[in-house]
Amino acid sequence: MTSTTLDGGAAAPAEGNLKSRLRRAERLRKLKAIGLVAPLALFLVVVFVVPIGSMLLNSVDNGSLRQVMPQTASALAQWDGEGLPGEATFAAFAEELRDSRRGGGLGSVGRRLNYENPEYRGLLMRTLMGLPAESDDWRATLIDIDPAWGETATWRGIQAAAPPRTDRYLLASLDLERGADGEIQRVDQQDRLYQAVFQRTLVIAGGVTLICLALGFPLAYLLATLPAKTSNLLMILVLLPFWTSLLVRTAAWIILLQSNGLANQTLQTLGLIESPLQLVFNRTGVFFAMVHILLPFMVLPLYSVMKGISPSYQRAAVSLGAHPFAAFWQVYAPQTLSGVAAGTILVFIMALGYYITPALVGGPADQMVSYYVAYYTNTTNNWGMAAALGSILLAVTLLLYLVYHRLVNRKQLIGS
């Protein structure tokens, strides 16, 4: 005991010295490592982090009313939402409405206000036409031009568009809205859409993942156990789909699966069916095309894991008295778990974002979240909704991933 303490005391200064030398030696190595990853890191920031960040921001951005009509916005921020706002607010609004025509801000304000109520654009135009140069009583003047300005709801709509941030898009993406009293509530039955879309997206992605696993697992096993010559040939067949464009492959499925397509004709010739089956422009078509495209992403990670599992494990199990099937399930399959985990998460996440394939081979009831994101960006220019749907999809994906990661990690801990 004593000698240990003495030794420790004597070694301490030398040890400190050693540590600083180690740190110096490590510093250079770290700098080199940072230098090596810097280009990639920069690339990722520019094309990944920034766009995603701005998308997340877009989903809560309340539009341009605040820029175009700053005084109206701040005046309405004070208003309690009862009765009508004060004369000062009317005056500021009239002033800024007139100015907005010159700056070109009117269009964007109109678009934003139309999300509150589609009457707004017309109202703004009418008001602008009738707006006098001067007025002593702007409140009366405006109500005179259009009685809508005498209604509390009109001003509440503008007030809702005034703050810099809003949750209306995120709420709308979940079929929710704020009621007249500001409480969150579900939208009317006939307007509900997105909860069903998210549910459908998860169901399709999950189904595609399961089918890919069911088809890919035996295939990967075959690839990993066949002699190299045969398995290389099969591997080329697995990778073949990558050599053709996604659009071409999807179009090919339409041709194959349509009512007078090859599949239906063959089945009819064989006498298995009497009238053509509806195989495309519905859920069946979506599954066919998506499974076909995503299967390699399941097979490759499974194959690489299976390739590393020595056949002697199964032989050992059999020599210990296990039936070959039992040996497979009890000894081989658990060792493939990391590959199953990688393959399913890869396919699932890719499937969640699918848009072109369901759009081409699915029916109206098979469109996934990405379809609506594309619709809002390309067709209606509603960046807020597009971003909100995207953000929620991202959040759901991350959440599922975390849950999955915990589940698999616990299992894998057993595996390694």
Partner 1 sequence: MPNPSNDPSPDPSTSLIRFAAVQKTYDGEQLVVKDLNLAIEPGEFVTLLGPSGSGKTTCLMMLAGFEVPTSGDIFLRDQRLNSVPPHKRNFGMVFQNYALFPHMTVEENIRYPLKTRRLPAAEADRKVSEILDMIQLRDFAKRRPAQLSGGQQQRVALARSLVFEPQLVLMDEPLGALDKQLREQMQLEIKHLHEQLGLTVVFVTHDQSEALTMSDRVAVFNDGVIQQIDTPSNLYEYPANAFVAQFIGENNTLAGRVESVEGERCRARFGEGLATGALLGPGLGVGDATHLSIRPERVKLNGAARALPNRLPARVHEFIYLGDHLRVRCALPGNDDFVARVPVDDFDADMKPGDTIELGWRDEDVRALDAP
Radius of gyration of the chain (CA): 32
Is the sign of the CA dihedral 328, 341, 204, 280 positive or negative? negative
User: Minimal CA–CA distance to 340: which of 197, 250, 209?
Assistant: 209
The CB-of-334 to partner 1 minimum distance in angstroms stands at 5
C-beta neighbour count of 178 within 10 angstroms: 14
Structural tokens at position 372: 């609506």
* Binding to partner 1 in span 232-251, by CB under 8 A: none
Which residue, 331 or 368, is less far from partner 1 as judged by CB? 331
177 has which bridge partners? 185
User: Minimal CA–CA distance to 59: which of 189, 206, 169, 134?
Assistant: 169
The CB-of-416 to partner 1 minimum distance in angstroms stands at 7
C-beta neighbour count of 94 within 10 angstroms: 22
The CB-of-317 to partner 1 minimum distance in angstroms stands at 7
Q: Which helix (H) or strand (E) holds 11?
A: helix 2-44
Backbone angles phi, psi at 176, to 5 degrees: -120, 165
Rounded Cα–Cα distance for residues 31 and 33 (Å): 5
Question: Which residues, including other chains, have CB under 8 Å from residue 90's CB and lie 6 or more apart?
Answer: 138, 139, 142, 149
Which residue, 306 or 331, is less far from partner 1 as judged by CB? 331
Structural tokens at position 192: 């509900």
Which residue, 196 or 316, is less far from partner 1 as judged by CB? 316
Residues binding partner 1: number (CB under 8 A): 22
Structural tokens at position 289: 């095309």
The CB-of-220 to partner 1 minimum distance in angstroms stands at 19
* Cβ(397)–Cβ(317) below 8 Å: no
The CB-of-331 to partner 1 minimum distance in angstroms stands at 5
* Binding to partner 1 in span 303-332, by CB under 8 A: 310, 312-313, 315-324, 326-327, 330-331
Which residue, 270 or 320, is less far from partner 1 as judged by CB? 320
* Binding to partner 1 in span 142-181, by CB under 8 A: none
* Binding to partner 1 in span 55-84, by CB under 8 A: none
Is the sign of the CA dihedral 57, 62, 66, 68 positive or negative? positive
User: Minimal CA–CA distance to 150: which of 245, 93, 84?
Assistant: 84
* Binding to partner 1 in span 18-57, by CB under 8 A: none
Rounded Cα–Cα distance for residues 46 and 52 (Å): 10
Which residue, 179 or 415, is less far from partner 1 as judged by CB? 415
* Binding to partner 1 in span 354-413, by CB under 8 A: none
165 has which bridge partners? 61
The CB-of-324 to partner 1 minimum distance in angstroms stands at 7
Which residue, 6 or 326, is less far from partner 1 as judged by CB? 326
The CB-of-227 to partner 1 minimum distance in angstroms stands at 11
The CB-of-325 to partner 1 minimum distance in angstroms stands at 10
Which residue, 141 or 336, is less far from partner 1 as judged by CB? 336
The CB-of-316 to partner 1 minimum distance in angstroms stands at 4
Which residue, 269 or 310, is less far from partner 1 as judged by CB? 310
Residue window 329-348: x/- pattern of binding to partner 1, with contact defined by CB under 8 A: -xx--xx-------------
Which residue, 163 or 334, is less far from partner 1 as judged by CB? 334
Rounded Cα–Cα distance for residues 231 and 213 (Å): 19
Summarize as ranges the residues that interact with partner 1 (CB under 8 A).
310, 312-313, 315-324, 326-327, 330-331, 334-335, 414-416
